[in-house]
């Protein structure tokens, strides 16, 4: 049997087409679907007692999630709830956001996140055939800290090099599927020839820049081939039937509709084969967004996270908003976090509805969802709210709580994700072995 990638290379193409039965020519076992990975970050933690399941069997099976997690109850069998996860090298709104996906600690003076993030390491190893090695998305920041580098960066190509995060759904769609098949291929050939001629006599740094230029040319070629491929067109037609259509020209004013669009783009990109890796910052690491779009809520997300203070004078508050009691403020905090859980649950609905191989796209995906802070008021760095959804191609056994007697270094989760993706590494951060979630 001729493998899908082997055929494409032989045909002179270097794109990652969607995995379709028609591509498994000849006799033998069809090529296994690739494992995907998604990292979803939300800021400001959760209120104490609002994360862990309400009922767990003696063998760890999830029997009932708690009230704050109720939107995820329908996906209980697709979840692996983690406990005692901590970040040994960094925490807090700035440092904890910047290092949520990296193996090191945050150096404020050097703007150094301690190394390349897990999504970018995976992109280098397994993302080369995708038109987008790793899709990085974010909602636009709101409030005082919306321009903070550390609070708005969790993907890093190197220790001091943050990766650009796209916020416009239409721009993302165009990047993934909007390349023009009529682009003059001879122009690309000429550009490549010129670049190769320039290589002679260049120093190492200039050669590196030239390689990036050539890779950009290859990226254009991959997008042209991908956008004009019949298999891609069939996937997009089917996606429109499922409500995964072309995004509107402007960012929706409705914040829920906007986040849903970002989630839909991730689902569509994974399913179509445009990428196997994606990350989303649901908001920046100290979100001051006014959450009036959540019924019964007033004040900013960060102010609400300091739920034990109810005089309206937390560090980033407007000095005007007041709450009647600590319990009232905590209830609003819980509502905001639960509202975001509902957006996540809808994303899992999408992944579960999209067919892949013999099962669902969700079965082939590892989704790491959580925050860098435990209780928002205390800025706790122990027992972080982290869960894993999806089967990862059989690597992850879900429907349970993974109990641990000792603290779990978050780097073990990242190392296990890399292993499931087929990326070989001796260590990630302080972790030398990945989390055993089988």
- What pLDDT sits at residue 232? 66
Among 118, 188, 108, smallest CA distance to 148 is for 108
- In the numeric block, the tokens 């209120």 are attached to 47
Pairing mode of beta strands 400-402, 55-56 = unpaired
Whole-model pTM?
Answer: 0.82
For residues 172 and 124, the answer to whether their CB atoms sit within 8 Å is: no
- In the numeric block, the tokens 């862990």 are attached to 52
* Gap between the Cα atoms of 103 and 110, Å rounded: 16
- What pLDDT sits at residue 225? 61
Range 9-47 burial, b when 16+ CB lie within 10 A, else e: eeeebebbbbbeeebbeeeeeebebbbbbbbbbbbbbbb
pLDDT tens sequence across 175-187 = 887 654 444 555 5
> Percentage of the chain surpassing pLDDT 70?
80
- What pLDDT sits at residue 191? 59
- What pLDDT sits at residue 351? 95
State whether the Cα torsion 115-116-122-124 is positive or negative: negative
- What pLDDT sits at residue 144? 79
Q: What is the pLDDT along the chain (438 residues), one digit of tens a residue?
A: 333 333 233 323 332 333 434 333 333 445 789 999 999 999 999 999 999 999 999 999 999 999 999 999 999 999 999 999 999 887 789 999 999 999 999 998 889 999 999 999 999 999 988 889 999 999 998 877 888 999 999 999 999 999 999 999 888 887 887 654 444 555 556 656 766 776 666 777 677 656 655 565 565 556 556 655 666 677 777 767 767 767 776 788 899 999 999 999 999 889 888 899 999 999 999 999 999 999 999 999 999 999 998 887 777 677 888 898 999 999 999 999 999 999 999 999 999 998 898 899 999 999 999 999 999 998 888 899 999 999 999 999 999 999 999 999 999 999 999 999 999 999 999 999 999 999
* Gap between the Cα atoms of 238 and 404, Å rounded: 43
Range 386-400 burial, b when 16+ CB lie within 10 A, else e: bbbbbbbbebbebeb
- What pLDDT sits at residue 147? 86
**Tokens matching residue 87:** 């970040």
For residues 85 and 413, the answer to whether their CB atoms sit within 8 Å is: yes
Residue 51 exposure: Cα atoms within 13 Å on the Cβ side = 24
**Tokens matching residue 247:** 């995004």
Q: How many residues does the chain have?
A: 438
E strand or H helix at 80, and its extent? Answer: strand 79-82
* Gap between the Cα atoms of 145 and 230, Å rounded: 45
Residue 351 exposure: Cα atoms within 13 Å on the Cβ side = 29
């Amino acid at each position: 049997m001729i493998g899908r990638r082997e055929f494409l290379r032989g045909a002179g193409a270097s794109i990652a087409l969607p995995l379709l039965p028609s591509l498994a020519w000849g006799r033998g076992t069809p090529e296994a679907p690739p494992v995907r990975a998604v990292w979803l970050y939300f800021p400001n933690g959760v209120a104490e007692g609002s994360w862990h399941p309400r009922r767990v069997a003696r063998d760890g099976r999830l029997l009932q999630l708690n009230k704050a997690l109720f939107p995820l109850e329908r996906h209980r069998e697709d979840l692996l709830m983690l406990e005692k996860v901590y970040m040994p090298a960094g925490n807090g709104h700035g440092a904890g956001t910047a290092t949520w996906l990296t193996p090191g600690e945050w150096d404020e003076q050097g703007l150094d996140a301690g190394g390349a993030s897990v999504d970018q390491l995976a992109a280098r190893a397994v993302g080369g055939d995708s038109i987008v090695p790793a899709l990085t998305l974010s909602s636009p920041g709101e409030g005082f800290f919306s321009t903070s580098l550390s609070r708005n960066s969790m993907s890093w190509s190197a220790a001091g090099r943050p990766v650009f995060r796209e916020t416009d759904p239409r721009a993302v769609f165009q990047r993934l599927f909007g390349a023009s098949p009529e682009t003059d291929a001879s122009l690309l050939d000429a550009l490549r020839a010129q670049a190769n001629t320039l290589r002679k006599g260049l120093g190492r740094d200039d050669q590196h820049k030239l390689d990036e230029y050539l890779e950009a040319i290859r990226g254009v070629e991959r997008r042209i081939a991908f956008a004009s491929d019949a298999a891609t067109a069939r996937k997009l037609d089917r996606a429109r039937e499922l409500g995964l259509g072309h995004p509107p020209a402007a960012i929706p004013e409705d914040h829920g509709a906007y986040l849903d669009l970002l989630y839909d783009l991730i689902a569509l990109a994974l399913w179509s084969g445009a990428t196997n890796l994606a990350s989303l910052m649901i908001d920046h690491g100290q979100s001051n967004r006014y959450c009036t779009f959540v019924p019964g809520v007033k004040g900013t997300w960060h102010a609400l996270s300091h739920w034990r203070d109810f005089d309206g004078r937390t560090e980033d508050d407007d000095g005007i908003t007041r709450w009647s009691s600590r319990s009232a403020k905590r209830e609003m905090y819980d509502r905001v976090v639960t509202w975001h859980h509902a957006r996540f649950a809808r994303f899992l609905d999408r992944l579960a509805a999209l067919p892949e191989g013999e099962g669902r796209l969700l079965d082939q995906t590892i989704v790491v969802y959580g925050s860098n802070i435990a209780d928002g008021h205390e800025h706790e760095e122990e027992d972080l709210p982290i869960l894993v959804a999806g089967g990862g191609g059989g690597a992850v056994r879900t429907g349970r709580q993974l109990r641990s007697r000792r603290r779990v270094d978050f780097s073990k989760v990242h190392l296990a994700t890399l292993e499931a993706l087929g990326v070989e590494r001796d260590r990630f951060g302080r972790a030398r072995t990945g989390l055993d979630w089988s």
